[in-house]
Amino acid sequence: MKHKQLAFLAVALLFLVGGCQSNQNNSGETSHSSKKTTETSRKKTETSTSQEKIKGEVYQGEFELPLDGASGYASISLNVKSDVTAESTTLETLAPGTGFTVLAENNGWLQIKTDTQTGWVQSQYALVNLPDLIPSIVYNDTNVSGSIFRTSNVDIPDITGVSLYNSKDYNDRLEQEQYIMPVLYPMTKKIMAAQQQALSENNTIILYEAFRPLSVQVNAANKVQALAAQNPTVKAGITTAPWSIDWFIVTSISNHQVGYAMDVSIGQVTETAEKTVGKYQIKQVTGYSEYAMQTPMHELSNQSALFTGPVDVLSKTAWQSASYSPSVNQYTVTLQKYMTDNGLTPLASEWWHFNDLDTLYSMAGYTGTGDYILTETKSLAPK
């Protein structure tokens, strides 16, 4: 199959860095210049010794940090139970979008602490904040900082360059301001595996968006449709067979609102820094060069198509028989490998988009609408 042949090419060319865009993360610490005095030298020695003493251990678990203390959110109207059974007492019911702190996991249930109760919720309905669990990923929610949505290389009025919603907060767990970027809990384990595979090859996932509010989805889709109505180039880019506009952005609930989708790219790691979170030592990517994919991120047109035509979005295997679009390059193929090797399914029309169909099916039809905006974390340092 054509895409498998390209995958071999990807491995051979993986570490080429031509066409990369350099980026620098500002989360690293800067050391003070030393002064030529005995007193300053003494203080520096004491500080160094103190830092050695407090240097944490590397967490040995399913994530880079323990689940304990991570922020979570209800994706649907969610019952908090007294025990890990559906038949146990309901302590309270959380409205969609309500935040809580995750304490533990037990056989498909998460123990959580809300503002009023400590209890259990079914994990497949709980969104969990990715920065709290996998801090090595580069988080860059451009729809929060300034949207890069474009279509056929044309700016979208009132969308391109605009902050579409506020979803950033000071994260007490990480001790820094950070985007709020959750997915449904079962999906987090697959993302963790994909990031570890990328890191093993000196690459990193760059997460552009996970959960997206419904209001943002509808607004962007309406603006794209309005632009297409007056711009023939834009219209051709999203309606030329075999594609239609719904393959690029929809005016109804999408998988981003449900919580089992994410938009990602990859980059080569150029710098890392260590950080202590609670008693644990983590490594964050503080410098990276983003690979030049087949198009810029969030180019909403057939230029971004991964395959030559549509593929059943609810099938876990149909994509395996599809042929790659001629515009696919080796970096696109490498990204696909990281994601599909770990159980995620690609979207035919967008090289950056991946779904977790296992998580979707586990919800048995009880999916959320995403009609809320997440503005607050409940994150705490792990014990």
The domain that contains 294 carries what CATH number?
Answer: 3.30.1380.10
98 found inside a domain: no
371 found inside a domain: no
Residue 23 confidence class, pLDDT cut points 50, 70, 90: low
Q: What is the mean pLDDT of the chain?
A: 89
Q: How many helices (H) and strands (E) does the chain have?
A: 10, 19
What's the number of domains the chain is made of?
1
Q: Of all residues in the chain, what percent carry a pLDDT higher than 70? A: 86
Residue 35 confidence class, pLDDT cut points 50, 70, 90: very low
CA gap 264, 167 in Å, rounded: 18
Tell me which of 25-39, 207-221, 350-364 is least confident.
25-39
CA gap 110, 357 in Å, rounded: 20
104 found inside a domain: no
- Summarised one tens digit per residue, pLDDT across range 263-280 is 999 999 999 999 999 999
155 found inside a domain: yes
Kindly state the average pLDDT of the residues 312-330: 97
Burial class (CB in 10 A: 0-12, 13-18, 19+), 93: exposed
CA gap 138, 26 in Å, rounded: 11
pLDDT at position 373: 98
325 found inside a domain: yes
For residue 259, report the phi and psi dihedrals to the nearest 5 degrees.
Answer: 110, 15
35 found inside a domain: no
pLDDT of 11 over the 80 cut: no
Range of the domain at 254: 2-25+49-62+130-362
298 found inside a domain: yes
pTM over 0.75: yes
Q: Are the C-beta atoms of 371 and 341 separated by less than 8 Å?
A: no
86 found inside a domain: no
pLDDT of 168 over the 70 cut: yes
pLDDT at position 54: 52
pLDDT of 227 over the 80 cut: yes
Kindly state the average pLDDT of the residues 5-11: 39
Kindly state the average pLDDT of the residues 305-314: 98
